[in-house]
Amino acid sequence: MTTNFEEIVSRHRAIFQSGKTRSAEWREKQLAALRAMVTERADVFCDALWKDLRRNKVDATVADLKTVADEADYTRRRVRHWMKPKSERTPLVLWPGRTTVSFEPLGVGLIIGAWNYPIQLVLSPLIAALSGGNAAVLKPSEVSPASAAALAELVPQYLDPDAVSVVTGGVAETTALLEQKWDHIFFTGGTSIGRIVMTAAAKNLTPVVLELGGKSPAIVHDSADLKVAARRIAHGRWLNAGQTCTAPDYVLVSKSVAHEFLVHLKAAVLDFYGADPQKSPDFGRIVSPRHFDRLKNLLGEGTIHHGGQHDRDDLFIAPTILTDVPPTAAVLQEEIFGPILPVLEIDGIDQAIAHVNARPHPLGLYVFANDQAVAQRILAETASGDAAINDCAVHPIIRELPFGGVGNSGMGKYHGEWGFRAYTNARGVLSRGTRFDAALRYPPYSRGTRLPNWIMGIR
């Protein structure tokens, strides 16, 4: 049966225009229901994540479900405050008057999720949409079908079906959805599809948030605590078998400490996943044969310092460390999005900064250095969507921080109040009384009664 996407959008737009979604009570109720869904039906979601990615229950609970539940609760407790109009200064020439900024819902949004965190990356943008008082259509990724099916089953049971829908399917369905007229589009995925989404949005001048990833570097200075740096980089890289948009994509390490760093990095992998990571209950799998084949082709570039084992039938690629990688290698040109980590030696910070700046802006930039002057210099002389010092990949859990890319790694920010702002129009409002209406502001100016320049703001 063919889905009538135009009818779905029209139904949600009618509800939005009725004013139903605007009240604080409705927003709070939906956010509470969303939290209840991921809490009460956690087993359903964990089972789906195991089927799609062989994600263990601990990672599924922490990275997908608890993250969403906590964000929904955090937002629910603050949304009334965020909704309040904010007063601003009124210029003297417009006295008596009052100037405010109100935050108006945008309307009906489309949320296109990604397969690597197929629950979180659909529901977290939905939290932002609901907090802003909007209706939304969710399109989970077809690459993670079990998670998409779980969302399609449970979302209508918990959330207002008049305002929130789930559409499953593949490229054809996504293409058809992009042909509709939306008030906002949120997309998480690769840069190539991001361009398609932005092109579709441009037809109706629809605002977008694009979360696109990119090659996020980890820079290890010789002042770093090398053991801690290695463990945190290993955790960030090999969580979810490397299929994380904020994961460090490669390491730039000072030559003077490169050997010691590699010793600690290998030790961390063995400590986390054992000598046979294929048997580890904590190491995931590649999402599909197509992605497996792409990643397997990257293993032949450079020297395998550790790992390299693979099994296509099990969609398994071991945590792999590459060294001596040629600058032109594909593994250094495209986002890896898998359990492979190139480690490149550098002469110093100048070379690291030049390397980062010669490439598109990454989603994250991670500096490992106990010399804070070095860390601050790297941040000051580079650009990235977000950054961390002496850690990596975990900053998105801080709801007060804006999360998102810049340039090639995306546009727009969300999480917490930043998500609320992404899904509302900041509407400037001037409110004036009528008891006083000076003739000085009106023509004819030949009367010589112009307001003094200092009042008009003319210098």
Residue 27: phi and psi, rounded to 5, are -60, -45
Residue 437: phi and psi, rounded to 5, are -145, 90
Domain ranges of the chain: 5-212+409-426, 217-399
Q: Which of 224, 235, 329, 345 is nearest to 282 (CA)?
A: 235
Q: Which 8-state DSSP code applies to residue 91?
A: P
Element (H, E) at 392: none
pLDDT at position 14:
98
For every residue of 58-89, DSSP letters joined together read: HHIIIIIIIHHHHHHHHHHTTHHHHHS-EEEP
pLDDT at position 283:
97
CA triple 346-348-354, angle to 5 deg: 80
Q: Which parts of the chain sit beneath pLDDT 70?
A: 1-2, 446-459
Q: Report the sign of the C-alpha dihedral through residues 432, 434, 436, 438, in that order.
A: positive
Residue at token pair 């090398």:
226
Residue 161 preceded by cis peptide, ω within 30: no
Q: Which of 64, 36, 71 is nearest to 50 (CA)?
A: 64
3-state secondary structure of 455: helix
3-state secondary structure of 311: strand
Quote the CA–CA distance of 250 and 329 in Å, as a whole number: 13
Quote the CA–CA distance of 288 and 280 in Å, as a whole number: 19
Fold of 5-212+409-426: Aldehyde Dehydrogenase; Chain A, domain 1 (3.40.605)
pLDDT at position 447:
63
Q: What's the predicted TM-score (pTM) here?
A: 0.94
Quote the CA–CA distance of 122 and 129 in Å, as a whole number: 11
Quote the CA–CA distance of 238 and 233 in Å, as a whole number: 8
Check if 46 is active-site: no
Q: Is 199 exposed, middle or buried (0-12, 13-18, 19+ CB in 10 A)?
A: exposed
What are the DSSP E strand ranges found in 328-433? Answer: 340-346, 364-368, 386-389, 410-411, 424-432
pLDDT at position 385:
97
Torsion angle, alpha carbons of 296, 300, 303, 304, to 10: 20
> In the structure encoding, which two tokens stand for residue 92, read together?
């003297």
For every residue of 211-229, DSSP letters joined together read: E-----EEEE-TTS-HHHH
- From the list 71, 104, 179, 245, the catalytic residue is 245
> In the structure encoding, which two tokens stand for residue 439, read together?
């003739």
- From the list 25, 40, 173, 211, the catalytic residue is 211
pLDDT at position 1:
47
Q: Report the sign of the C-alpha dihedral through residues 418, 420, 425, 429, in that order.
A: negative
Q: How many CB atoms lie within 10 A of CB 155?
A: 22
pLDDT at position 454:
47
In angstroms, the Cα distances linking 291 to 194, 302, 316, 339 are: 19, 20, 11, 12
Q: Give me Rg for the CA atoms of the chain.
A: 25
- The CATH architecture one would assign to domain 217-399 is 3-Layer(aba) Sandwich (3.40)
